[in-house]
Each structure stands twice: as structure tokens, then as C-alpha cells.
Amino acid sequence: MADNAEDLGDVPLIGEHCEFPSCGQLDFLSFECTSCSKKFCKNHKSEDAHSCTKCNVSVSHPEYTGPRGHHCTVQDCTNRELTPVVCPHCHLNFCLSHRHQVDHDCPELRPPSPKMAKTAEHVKQIVESQKSKPVKKQGAKSRKTAAKVALMKMKMKAVGDKGIPETEKVYIQVLLPQGNAEKNCPMYFSKKWTIGRIVDKIAEIAKLKNDNNVAVAKKLRLFDAEEGVILPMDASLDSLMAPGHPELTPGLPELCSGSSVIIEYVDNDCSKLEDVTPYSMT
């Protein structure tokens, strides 16, 4: 038996011992760690199981020493571009901010010819002269055409007294007082109504304070939207729509369905608004 034991001791061992310090188990199918290259048994084959010292160790990379973009030739400019930006005139490299000739004081930049400068000055004079020209006021025919176009849009949104017969309705774009939240409101009235009654109806619909019966208060009055001329409170609407009617105030354009008027708080003796531009049609 002793001889047999000695014979077994001479037999070479198959497999490898686990290299985990507290293990050392002989394993016929050992596993090699891909990180530290050591051999382990199946119980310690994972990197976590044998606390691998080479796992997740960052590999240092050499610092990049190549080109870091193309620098701008303009003095004190630190901008760089990934691609060259070369001026086709002076052939120097610039950043995007200085790529134009005027931006980098290009030595090849040529001043504009006297002819071009003269042309530019002439154009400037034309533009300035157009600005100074007063806006040409519409004639009676143009006003009526504009009113017809406005009337088509106005009829879809206009508000008023539903009891007015269709044959009596006159549609008016009412431009509300300065400072009012609403700028304008399309409304319709009876052509038989006086301007005074129309003022009261506008105040009711637009919820405007109406102190026309208070002696010392500002009065609500209606004015033509183009000339700013007051509409007489006792005149009927159809009388102001008739050309040459005696009640037509001098300077007051003929009104028609689709016209615009301004309602404003004024002193009792006011007969005209000096400036109608603050009132909005939109």
C-alpha cells in the first residue's frame, strides 16, 4: 500500500490553484481574469468576487498636442475656428467675426468710387424727401370705395339695437376714446337717429361714462375720423349722409355706411380734434 501511495505522489496534479488569498482551491477548470490575468476558481472568477485591483482602472491618455483651431490674425482677437477662414483679398486667416474686409481693416479694401457715393447720396435724398411729404388725403370717391370694403367686414361683427329695421341700418366703425381698453368697435344705428342719440347708444354698448347732462363735466362727442370735424348733436345721421345738405358741417366729409367716427371726451366748446392719428382702426 505504501508503494502505491508513493506512486500516486509522483503523479502530476491536473488543474490550477485559485489565486484568491484565502482560497487556494484546486480547480480543474480554472478561470483567467481578463483584467489582472490571474487564475481563479468558479467561486472567485468574477472581478467583484476576487476584488480585482485592475478592474475599472482608468487608462491615462497622453495630452493632445495637435492644432487647436485656426487663430484670427486681428490683433488682440483670441477667437479660433475649426476650419480656415481666409480673406480672398489679403489671404490672411480670420475668425467669423472679422471675415469681412471692413471688419479686419483689409489692406486691399478699396474705397467706394465717387460715382457710387454720389448714387448713394442721391438715393438717401429721395428717401428723405418722401418722408417729408404730407400724406395725401383721400378724395370723396376713394373714401366711398374704402368704406364699401370696410362695410363687408364690419357687418360680420357689428353690434347695435336689434330692433332697427334692416333698411334703416347704417354701419359705422367707432374709434373709442384714448386710454380705453378697447380701441374700436363696429356698430350699427338707425339712419333716422340724431347724433346725440347715437352718442348715448355708443356709451351704453362700450360702457363709457356719459356725463353729457352734467354741466361742468367733459362731454362725449362724435367726430369724423379723417378730418376730426365734430358731428352736430342735433343732426340726424341720414342728413350727414346727403351731399350738400344744409346741416352738413363745413369741412365735414360726407358720411356713408362703412365710415369711421371718433368718440371722445372734450370740452363743451370743442369743434374739432386737432390730431386724429392716435385713434386706432385695428
- What architecture does CATH give domain 69-108? Irregular (4.10)
The three three-digit cell numbers of residue 5, written as one number: 501511495
pLDDT mean over 15-42: 85
Fold assignment, 140-266: Ubiquitin-like (UB roll) (3.10.20)
How confident is the model at residue 50, as a pLDDT? 84
- pLDDT for 164 equals 94
The single-letter DSSP state of residue 115 is H
pTM for this one? 0.49
Q: Which CATH number fits domain 15-55: 3.40.190.10, 4.10.1110.10, 3.40.50.1010, 2.60.40.10?
A: 4.10.1110.10
Q: Which grid cell is 32?
A: 483567467
**Measured between alpha carbons, how far is residue 241 from residues 38, 149, 184, 186, 271 in Å?**
108, 18, 22, 18, 19
pLDDT of residue 49: 86
Q: Which pLDDT does position 46 carry in this prediction?
A: 87
Tell me: pLDDT of 177 over 90: yes
- How many Å apart are CA 135 and CA 256, to the nearest integer? 23
Instruction: Output the pLDDT for position 1.
Output: 44
Q: List, by residue range, all CATH 4.10.1110.10 domains of the chain.
A: 15-55, 69-108
**Measured CA angle at 271 (ends 266, 274), to 5 deg:** 80
- Provide the pLDDT for residue 63: 67
- pLDDT category at 59 given cuts 50, 70, 90 is low
pLDDT at 51 over 80: yes
Predicted local confidence at residue 207, as pLDDT:
95
In sequence order, the 6+-apart residues with CB closer than 8 A to the CB of 238 are 170, 191, 192
CA distances from 266 to 106, 132, 222, 248, 282 (A): 63, 31, 10, 21, 23
Beta-ladder partners of 232:
none
Higher pLDDT residue, 237 or 130?
237
Of the two residues 67 and 77, the one the predictor is more confident about is 77
Q: Which of the listed ranges 20-34, 39-53, 194-208 does the model predict with the highest average pLDDT?
A: 194-208
Q: Tally Cβ neighbours within 10 Å of residue 84.
A: 9
Query: Where is mean pLDDT largest: 77-86, 183-192, 249-258?
Result: 183-192
- Which residue bears the cell 348733436? 233
Query: Is residue 56's pLDDT more than 70?
Result: no
Residue 54 has pLDDT above 90, yes or no: no
CA distance 220 to 205: 14
> Residue 160: beta bridge partners?
188
Average pLDDT on 121-137 reads: 68
Strands 70-71 and 39-40: unpaired
At residue 70's C-alpha, the angle toward residues 68 and 75, to 5°, is 115
> Three-state DSSP class for 180?
coil
Average pLDDT of the chain to the nearest whole number = 83
The pLDDT value given to residue 134 = 57
Which residues is 159 bridged to in the sheet? Answer: 187
| Residue range(s) occupied by CATH 3.10.20.270 in the chain | 140-266
Return the pLDDT at 194: 95
195: closest CA among 241, 158, 152, 232? 232
At residue 25, the pLDDT reads 85
C-alpha distances out from residue 150 to 130, 134, 221, 258, Å: 28, 24, 23, 6
**Average pLDDT, stretch 186-195?**
95
Find the mean pLDDT for residues 27-46: 85
CB 98 within 8 A of CB 104: yes
Nearest to 231 by CA among 217, 219, 213, 218: 219
